[in-house]
Amino acid sequence: MPLSNTKLQMRGLYPATVAVYNDDFSLDVEATRTHLASVAAVSGVKGLVVTGMLAEVLELTSEEEVEIVKIACSVRKEGQLIIAGLMERNPDLAVKQAKALKAAGADALLVFPPYELRSYRKLLSDEAEMVKYFSRLDDEAAIPLIVFQYPPASAAAYPINILERLADIPGVVGVKAATGTVEAYYDIWDKLKDKISVLAAVDSPPLREMLLYGAHGALIGISTITPQHWVKLLEATEAKDVARTDAIFDKICRPLMASVFENQKPTRATHETACVKEALVQLGEIPSARIRPPAVPVTESIAQEIREALIASELLQGEAVR
């Protein structure tokens, strides 16, 4: 569905990628490069999302974020976008880091809610403040912006009227609709689909209904695990081929969502990134599932659960080798 303006239009799959670490928790540049290159090499991947939550943005330094963007730019295929996560509460620091990420080669920024802390959450519902924040990024950094919409249950989601207003800002080109519920997603799609790119963004079963209802694409972390299957899922939902959608979803997506992301209804302290990395280790994609403290790594029982899901999905044959 073409937009009625000249904004950057995003279509297809944008996997959120991980950062790989050495034994001393420093960035493993070559392993990270190999991981990003592997995802970029999959036909149908329209761009790489780096320095996001799955890449442990809370633990990365500003300098590491810039380095990862440069690595991504070195391995991307022609036409692929490099989307960098931007998580800053202070507007001055946000502009500074946005400029640095742009200079490193980022094509767009995935902007996390700047005021998700409890004492400032009310600002997310203040139209003037949020328009000011995004307009300043647009004016001073001059790079396309993607709004990260959290689920309503997070208490850090923008009201729909704020999203509509942000969509009017020239530099705002998309929304990562991580709404959690299909009802909240439907509202975003219905009201924003003709203004900006709407990217479905849940790592849980509601993704099926969201994609079939309507989506310009998907920006999801779980798709960094065998992205070729998620490309096929998007192709099936875009064609409204329900039978093919269900076949892919039931065989590949559901087992991974349950074992890696607990269907986004977590009961364990283990970080989701650790689980994604564990899956990639078992598939031979990266050398280590190591994550930076204080994030909690996988246990043997969780590793076994992920292994069983990979085998059930026929992504892994027999026993995994760690």
Tell me which residue has tokens 């004492």: 119
Confidence category of residue 176, pLDDT binned at 50, 70, 90: very high
Tell me which residue has tokens 């074992």: 259
Asked if 89 and 53 count as a contact pair (C-beta separation under 8 A), the reply is no
d(CA 237, CA 248): 10
Confidence category of residue 2, pLDDT binned at 50, 70, 90: low
DSSP per-residue codes, 86-135: E--SSHHHHHHHHHHHHHHT-SEEEE--TT-SGGGGGGGG-HHHHHHHHH
DSSP per-residue codes, 255-298: HHHHHHHGGG---SSB-HHHHHHHHHHHTTSSS-----TTSB--
Using only the alpha carbons of the chain, give its radius of gyration: 18
Nearest to 127 by CA among 93, 164, 100, 154: 164
Q: Considering only residues 187 and 5, tell me which one the structure prediction assigns the higher pLDDT.
A: 187
pLDDT score for 1: 53
pLDDT at 319 over 90: no
pLDDT score for 302: 97
Could you read off the pLDDT of 94-147 as tens digits, one per residue? Answer: 999 999 999 999 999 999 999 888 888 898 999 999 999 999 999 999 999 999
| % helix, strand, coil for the chain, step of 5 | 50, 15, 40
Confidence category of residue 321, pLDDT binned at 50, 70, 90: very low
No. of helices (H) and no. of strands (E), the chain: 12, 8
pLDDT at 183 over 90: yes
Mean pLDDT over residues 223-234, rounded?
98
pLDDT score for 322: 46
pLDDT score for 191: 98
pLDDT score for 320: 44
Nearest to 312 by CA among 245, 270, 263, 257: 257
pLDDT score for 117: 81
Spell out the residues 6+ positions from residue 294 whose beta carbon is closer than 8 angstroms to its own: none
The pTM (predicted TM-score) of the whole model is 0.95
pLDDT at 307 over 60: yes
Could you read off the pLDDT of 147-164 as tens digits, one per residue? Answer: 999 999 898 999 999 999
Please provide the average confidence, as pLDDT, over all residues in the chain.
95
Asked if 319 and 305 count as a contact pair (C-beta separation under 8 A), the reply is no
pLDDT at 35 over 90: yes
Relative to beta strand 108-111, strand 81-86 is parallel
Nearest to 192 by CA among 220, 169, 212, 209: 169
Could you read off the pLDDT of 257-283 as tens digits, one per residue? Answer: 999 999 999 999 999 999 999 999 999
Asked if 260 and 275 count as a contact pair (C-beta separation under 8 A), the reply is yes
**For the domain 12-227, what is the CATH code?**
3.20.20.70
Confidence category of residue 6, pLDDT binned at 50, 70, 90: confident
Confidence category of residue 187, pLDDT binned at 50, 70, 90: very high
d(CA 311, CA 296): 24
